[in-house]
Amino acid sequence: MGYGESLDSPKSEVQCDNHQQTIPKTEGLEFSHTVRSQTFWVILAIFFLFYICLQMTMTHIYNYATDIGISSSVAATLISLIRGCRIMGRLAMGIVSDQFSTKIAVLICTLFIAASFLLIIFADSVSMFYIFAVVFGVAYGGEISLIPVITGHYLGLKALGVVVGSVISAACLGTAIGPLLSGIIFDSVGSYTPSFVVAAILSMIAVIFTLLLHPVE
């Protein structure tokens, strides 16, 4: 970019190793238009539901495992395994997003989280709990890393900062609601199983919302 060139010009050029690369101007909707689009609210709903399900599980998985006879030491390793698999999920979903599409990566995460609840509902052995932890952890790590990518892809880059902030705020609201909802269900029926059934239903709704995603035109 030459000295004195306006940052508001439609295009700017960068000279690197004698090759000229043209960088297009930032495109997308203004935030005032973004909030009136269905896609914006669908993305918020996906991450809101996803994080309700995540925290319903993370807060109570230890108690659930010990309640059905899993030793406290094994139950504690489940949390560590989930956190370790989050790293694998972030890397794997990044590759899927780059090689295929962000929508496919988000769809895989929502399907994985739904499948993990089916596993935990019927888990009757330590090995099933470990499988649950791997599937759940991959989904957990993969989903959060896709927030900036999916918002930029479907809503453009012009209002990316405030849009990403809005999606993260929806996720944080889900994070606050999830443990409370699970605790209320447990206090009402004396079992964590119904809360995991609710989480499975909510995660399947998130799958449906993901399938409805389409770019704003």
Cα first-last separation, the chain? 31
CA proximity to 48, closest of 144, 174, 169, 136? 174
Quote the percentage of the chain above a pLDDT of 70: 86
216: confidence class by pLDDT, cuts 50, 70, 90? low
To the nearest 10 degrees (0 to 180), the angle between helices 38-67 and 193-211 is 160
The dihedral sign for the CA sequence 29, 30, 33, 34: positive
Check residue 180 and give its pLDDT.
Answer: 93
Question: Do 139 and 47 contact (CB within 8 A), yes or no?
Answer: no
The CATH number of the domain covering residues in 31-211: 1.20.1250.20
Distance CA 89, CA 135 (A): 9
- What pLDDT, on a 0 to 100 scale, did the predictor assign at position 26? 54
pTM score: 0.82
| Residue 195 neighbours by CB distance under 10 Å | 26
For residue range 6-51, list pLDDT tens digits in order.
444 444 444 444 443 333 445 666 787 888 889 999 999 999 999 9
State percent of the chain over pLDDT 90.
Answer: 57
**60-100 pLDDT tens trace:** 888 888 888 888 888 889 989 999 999 999 999 999 999 99
SS3 assignment, position 156: strand
Structure tokens, 148: 């900036």
Which residues are bridge partners to 16 per DSSP? 19
| pLDDT of 209 higher than 50 | yes
